[in-house]
Amino acid sequence: MIRLLLPFFLISLLGCQEQPPPGPKVEQQEIFTTLITLSFYNNPSDAVYSAIFDRLHQIDGWMSDYRTDSEISRVSANAGLQPLKVSPETLHVVEQALAESSLTNGIFDPSIGPVSHLWNVGSDNPKVPTAQAIAGARALVNFRDVVIDENAGTLFLKRKGMQLDVGGVAKGFAMDEALSLARKAGVTSGIFNMGNSSIGLLGRKPGGKPWKIGLQDPFQANGAYFATVEGFEMTVETSGPYQKFFMAGGKRYHHIMDPRTGSPADSGLEQVTLLLPLETKLADGLSTSCFILGLDKGLALIESLPDAAAVFVTSDHKVILSSRVGSRFTLLDKTFTLVSPPKF
């Protein structure tokens, strides 16, 4: 499969003017169809990296919808037929995904699989489906038809043809697991880059300064960034249509599907970046939901959640900050305009 994943972030690791401290020890592996990069300071043992990568591969094996032998794929294959017993971890991730569905009234929906597989964005053979095919796929999307039996440890999809897609939430769970293993091993400073769209910042930079993250310019090629955010013990999560897309008939079709239409979301936004506590449970589903909802409803959702902050970028180069972003944001590119948020 050809991946059209463009990095969202440039990570600024610039030190101060004095002699910089030793750099991080960096290890990378491809998991979740993306490149996972662990950058830890104070030279931890190789065993830490091995334990984390082994755990991430295990989670991917359970929850990938690209692997026919995964638990998620087997649950989908048994849709409308029978419940399937799954690992406690998979059960937990689906429970979390359904909680986000309830929070967003179905804007985030882990049963979006029929729609995302129909469009096939990011594969070798993406296509614009017929209106009839879109309607058929959309009719199969309803998180309320995902049944969890905690006592039996099973998942069941009520209707034949339903498919689960928990990729983003699974990646968030994977970051939590990686953080837990790193902390247990004594790692106190580092960056967990779960494919550039999701970054965990553990502790502070050596020397005590906060991390600084460059936000990718959604209108430019990879490597251009229009602003920075900074902080520590923080998750930075971004959703945007430039991550995966294809062109057909002069129009861009991206991977963020709106369950209400069965098509790529058209909300007037180009990017949503969330700033959340490090071990949050909401990041990926929340950023996706905000992008689909658009500025007004997305911002209202963020303001309703304690500790959540967001940076919205509109299609006409406007930047809007939620109230809790504060001084963590710095605009670098003056072709963007920082404007006041709408009042509710």
Distance CA 43, CA 21 (A): 12
The H-assigned helical ranges of the chain are: 46-63, 71-77, 88-103, 113-119, 131-138, 167-184, 283-293, 295-303
339 within a domain of the structure (yes/no): no
**254 Rama class: left (phi>0) / alpha (psi -120 to 50) / beta:** beta
Number of domains in the chain: 1
What are residue 229's DSSP bridge partners? 213, 329
pLDDT of amino acid 7? 41
Which two structure tokens, joined as six digits, stand for 292? 């689909």
158 within a domain of the structure (yes/no): yes
CATH number at residue 97: 1.10.3980.10
245 within a domain of the structure (yes/no): no
Question: pLDDT by residue for the chain (344 residues), tens digit each?
Answer: 333 333 444 444 444 455 666 899 999 999 998 999 999 999 999 999 999 999 999 999 999 998 999 999 999 999 999 999 999 999 999 999 999 999 999 999 999 999 999 999 988 899 999 999 999 999 999 999 999 999 999 999 999 999 999 987 898 899 999 999 999 999 999 999 998 789 999 999 998 999 999 999 999 977 789 999 999 999 999 999 987 899 999 999 999 999 999 999 999 999 999 999 997 766 668 999 999 999 999 999 999 999 999 999 999 999 999 999 999 999 999 999 999 998 76
Distance CA 115, CA 201 (A): 33
> Cβ(291)–Cβ(239) under 8 Å?
yes
pLDDT of amino acid 195? 85
Buried b (16+ CB within 10 A) or exposed e, 250-266: eeebbbbbbbeebbbbe
67 within a domain of the structure (yes/no): yes
106 within a domain of the structure (yes/no): yes
**Model pTM?**
0.91
131 within a domain of the structure (yes/no): yes
Residue with tokens 């900050």: 321
52 within a domain of the structure (yes/no): no
Quickly list DSSP for 64-80.
-SS-TTSHHHHHHHTTT
37 within a domain of the structure (yes/no): no
Give me the domain span that covers residue 68. 60-167
Per residue in 188-244, pLDDT (tens digit) is: 999 999 987 899 999 999 989 999 999 999 999 777 899 999 999 999 999 999 878
Per residue in 121-159, pLDDT (tens digit) is: 988 899 999 999 999 999 999 999 999 999 999 999 999
> Cβ(76)–Cβ(164) under 8 Å?
yes
What are residue 155's DSSP bridge partners? 84, 148
> Cβ(5)–Cβ(195) under 8 Å?
yes
